[in-house]
């Protein structure tokens, strides 16, 4: 557990601990007798002998508040503990034996959930009569099913773990393995469940006592104190204050403890989800600078991107330059973490909020002939370009489509975002587009929901939305990675065909698949840990690489019946620990001392080729 976690837990834990300690120490404290009646001192305001005053029977309020905590806490903790043990046992048994046992344990426990909780508690009170014991029974019955569910789910999950299955196949008794596997797994969720149960048991206990169906007078309990104070509310309103404060405060502290526990024990819930929308609404960068030498379509000049802020910021993309001409296909190749996707997102201004442009320009010449720097363009202007002149197709088509809207509507949405059309006309065009991207029976498919299409069909729909307005530049970020091999070929064919039809459309194809590159691209940019290491026409770069990394990548592609595959030795260095000098030197067979001394610059070799290697002449 990290220090930050302990920090989060400290405050609520201290408050809850303090309350529990105070309640536990009640018999040792010099308190007045909580049930001693002194009718003459009825409703006396706070005095020296009675710090919080006296109630409607002249009993000491402070003493009753502390003794009342004992009753409330004892009932809730005991009930939570009994429910926890019984429920967990039921869940383990049901999950382990399945079949009839499962019906007898988990399913029958779940029948309890058919009843609203307070109602069930009242039913138990009817049968057993009011009292603390009844409360414990009622609350245990109420909360056991939740524990049973958690334990049951975890047991089932553990049963399917490979090594448990393997042990069972070997004939070993898996009961012990299961216990050893399951208990550690269920402990964190059960701990959260426990604190939740205590808090909610406390609310129910005080509620029932308030109704006069819980703790039996004259025993003190916070619910009873509120009940009593309510009857004398017009004469002594302050009496209402103390038990209300004590009860609410304790529950707030318990709930805070739950939240903190959940955050600490379940790290998945803690990560603030990457929220591109905030950057989207607030991303106004400084005004446009005059652009030198406008590109025909797009030129990225010395782009720097950083993840995070301040000294800890990671330089994810450094000095990346690339250009796409109208009608050209540029492939951007690299392993995961090479910065190729971030570069693509930066062009559309869709970087996640933690990533910032720290340098460089993204010059784009639009349909109207003016050149803008996309890295400094305001969000409204960017939005007018996105989906119209600039488009993007993402990796996973099933995640890219909104599950609750029809496919045709999602294509039509792109059109209507930029063209003033009637809904019917946009829908008609969407069908035509779906037909154009090769979706069979497009009119019918347009009315389908994404889950009703296959992966390949979904990607076709995503592409249809991307080309809906005839973009000048299409960025495709690994559009085939999530698809089957046979579908991949079809999608590539489609994209090549669309480009041929569209004439002037430029295409940036981001991928890690070299075979795809040679099929579709005119030129290629090879990236390694955030830098461009080599660039040039595809045939030349792959035919005679001028950077050892490109050479290694090419060598790692299996070719024909030559099934020898050379993997690149070593690992990609992490961004926070980049090697000085050439980033590839630690994995490079050609590295010499000079390579690690200074970072090599991108060197132009003529003929549109460049490399970031000092020893490019020696690369085979």
Site for another protein in 460-519 (CB under 8 A): 462, 465-466
- Residue 154 or 389 having the CB closest to another protein: 389
Integer Cα distance of 577 and 146 in angstroms:
46
Rule CB under 8 A: which of 586-605 touch another protein? none
Going 20 to 21 to 25 to 30, the CA torsion angle's sign is negative
388 binds another protein (CB under 8 A): yes
Selected binder of another protein within 178, 350, 529, 553 (CB under 8 A): 350
346 binds another protein (CB under 8 A): no
Among the candidate windows 316-324, 335-343, 378-386, 582-590, which touches another protein by CB under 8 A? 378-386
CB of 440 to another protein, least distance (A): 21
CA torsion angle for 491, 492, 497, 501 (degrees, to 10)? 90
CB of 72 to another protein, least distance (A): 11
CB of 51 to another protein, least distance (A): 22
457 binds another protein (CB under 8 A): no
Rule CB under 8 A: which of 143-202 touch another protein? 199
Residue 465 half-sphere exposure toward CB, CA atoms < 13 A: 25
CB of 169 to another protein, least distance (A): 32
Residue burial 271-304, b: 16+ Cβ < 10 Å; e: rest: eeeeebeebeeebebeebeebeeebebbbbbebb
Tokens encoding 531: 């830098």
For strand 298-307 and strand 314-324, is the pairing parallel, antiparallel, or unpaired?
A: antiparallel
Tokens encoding 495: 């994209």
Selected binder of another protein within 451, 486, 577, 593 (CB under 8 A): 451
CB of 165 to another protein, least distance (A): 27
- Residue 404 or 571 having the CB closest to another protein: 404
Nearest to 19 by CA among 215, 251, 216: 251
Distant-in-sequence, close-in-space partners of 10: CB < 8 Å, separation ≥ 6: none
83 binds another protein (CB under 8 A): no
Rule CB under 8 A: which of 204-243 touch another protein? 206-207, 210-213, 223, 226, 230, 233-234, 237, 240
- Residue 451 or 617 having the CB closest to another protein: 451
Selected binder of another protein within 35, 56, 89, 115 (CB under 8 A): 115
Selected binder of another protein within 81, 325, 417, 578 (CB under 8 A): 417
* DSSP states of 105-139: IIIHHHHGGGS-HHHHHHHHHHHH-SSHHHHHHHH
Burial of 226 (0-12, 13-18, 19+ CB in 10 A): buried
CB of 100 to another protein, least distance (A): 18
CB of 235 to another protein, least distance (A): 10
Selected binder of another protein within 35, 177, 251, 489 (CB under 8 A): 251
Q: Which residue has the tokens 């088509």?
A: 397
- Residue 180 or 405 having the CB closest to another protein: 405
Nearest to 299 by CA among 235, 375, 247: 375
403 binds another protein (CB under 8 A): yes
117 binds another protein (CB under 8 A): yes
Tokens encoding 341: 């996707």
Tokens encoding 334: 């690299």
Integer Cα distance of 363 and 375 in angstroms:
8
Selected binder of another protein within 84, 95, 387, 479 (CB under 8 A): 387
CB of 528 to another protein, least distance (A): 26
Tokens encoding 24: 């536990």
Is residue 9 within 8 A of residue 254, CB to CB? The reply is: no
Q: How far is the CA of 44 from the CAs of 40, 242, 330, in angstroms?
A: 9, 14, 86
- Residue 57 or 115 having the CB closest to another protein: 115
100 binds another protein (CB under 8 A): no
Selected binder of another protein within 66, 190, 247, 330 (CB under 8 A): 247
- Residue 468 or 613 having the CB closest to another protein: 468
- Residue 276 or 378 having the CB closest to another protein: 276
């Amino acid at each position: 557990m990290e220090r930050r976690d302990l920090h989060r837990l400290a405050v609520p834990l201290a408050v809850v601990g303090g309350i529990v300690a105070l309640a536990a120490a009640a018999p040792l404290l010099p308190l007045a007798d909580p049930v001693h009646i002194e009718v003459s001192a009825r409703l006396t305001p706070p005095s020296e002998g009675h710090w919080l005053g006296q109630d409607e029977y002249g009993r000491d309020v402070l003493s009753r508040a502390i003794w009342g905590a004992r009753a409330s806490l004892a009932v809730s903790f005991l009930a939570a503990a009994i429910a926890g043990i019984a429920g967990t046992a039921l869940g383990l048994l049901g999950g382990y034996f399945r079949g009839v046992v499962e019906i007898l344990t988990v399913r029958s426990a779940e029948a309890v959930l058919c009843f609203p909780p307070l109602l069930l508690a009242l039913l138990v009170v009817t049968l057993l009569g009011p009292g603390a014991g009844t409360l414990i029974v009622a609350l245990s019955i109420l909360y056991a099913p939740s524990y049973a569910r958690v334990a049951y789910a975890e047991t089932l999950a553990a049963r399917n773990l490979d090594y448990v299955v393997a042990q069972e196949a070997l004939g070993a008794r898996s009961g012990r393995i299961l216990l050893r596997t399951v208990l550690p797994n269920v402990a964190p969720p059960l701990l959260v469940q426990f604190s939740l149960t205590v808090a909610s048991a406390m609310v129910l206990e005080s509620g029932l006592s308030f109704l006069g169906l819980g703790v039996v007078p004259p025993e003190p309990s916070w619910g009873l104190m509120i009940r009593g104070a309510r009857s004398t509310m017009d004469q002594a309103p302050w009496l209402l204050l103390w038990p209300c404060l004590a009860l609410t405060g304790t529950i707030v502290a318990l709930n805070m403890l739950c939240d903190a526990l959940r955050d600490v024990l379940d790290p998945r819930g803690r990560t603030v989800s990457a929220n591109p929308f905030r950057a989207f609404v607030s991303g106004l960068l400084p005004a446009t600078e005059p652009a030198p030498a406008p590109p025909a379509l797009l030129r990225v000049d010395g782009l720097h991107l950083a993840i995070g802020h301040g000294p800890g910021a990671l330089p994810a993309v450094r000095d990346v330059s690339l250009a796409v001409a109208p009608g050209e296909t540029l492939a951007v190749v690299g392993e995961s973490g090479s910065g190729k996707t971030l570069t693509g997102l930066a062009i559309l201004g869709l970087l996640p909020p933690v990533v910032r442009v720290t340098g460089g320009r993204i010059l784009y010449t639009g349909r109207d002939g003016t050149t803008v720097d996309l890295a400094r363009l305001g969000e409204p202007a960017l939005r007018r370009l996105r989906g119209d002149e600039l488009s993007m197709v993402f990796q996973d088509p099933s995640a890219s489509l909104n599950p609750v809207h029809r496919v045709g509507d999602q294509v039509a949405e792109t059109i209507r975002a930029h063209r003033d059309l009637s809904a019917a006309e946009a829908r008609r065009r969407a069908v035509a587009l779906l037909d154009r991207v090769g979706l069979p029976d497009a009119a019918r498919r347009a009315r389908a929901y994404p889950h009703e299409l296959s992966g390949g069909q979904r990607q076709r729909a995503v592409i249809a939305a991307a080309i809906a307005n005839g973009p000048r530049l299409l960025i495709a970020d690994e559009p085939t990675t999530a698809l089957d091999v046979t579908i991949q070929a079809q999608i590539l064919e489609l994209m090549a065909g669309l480009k041929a039809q569209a004439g002037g459309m430029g295409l940036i194809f981001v991928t890690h698949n070299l075979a795809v590159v040679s099929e579709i691209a005119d030129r290629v940019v090879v990236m390694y840990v955030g830098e461009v290491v080599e660039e040039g026409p595809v045939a030349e770069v792959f035919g005679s690489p001028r950077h050892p990394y490109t050479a290694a990548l090419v060598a790692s592609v299996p070719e024909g019946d030559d099934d020898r595959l050379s993997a690149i030795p070593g690992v990609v260095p992490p961004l926070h620990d980049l090697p000085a000098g050439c980033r590839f030197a630690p994995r490079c067979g050609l590295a010499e001392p000079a390579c690690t001394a200074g970072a090599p610059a991108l060197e132009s070799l003529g003929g549109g080729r460049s490399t970031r290697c000092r020893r490019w002449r020696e690369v085979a």
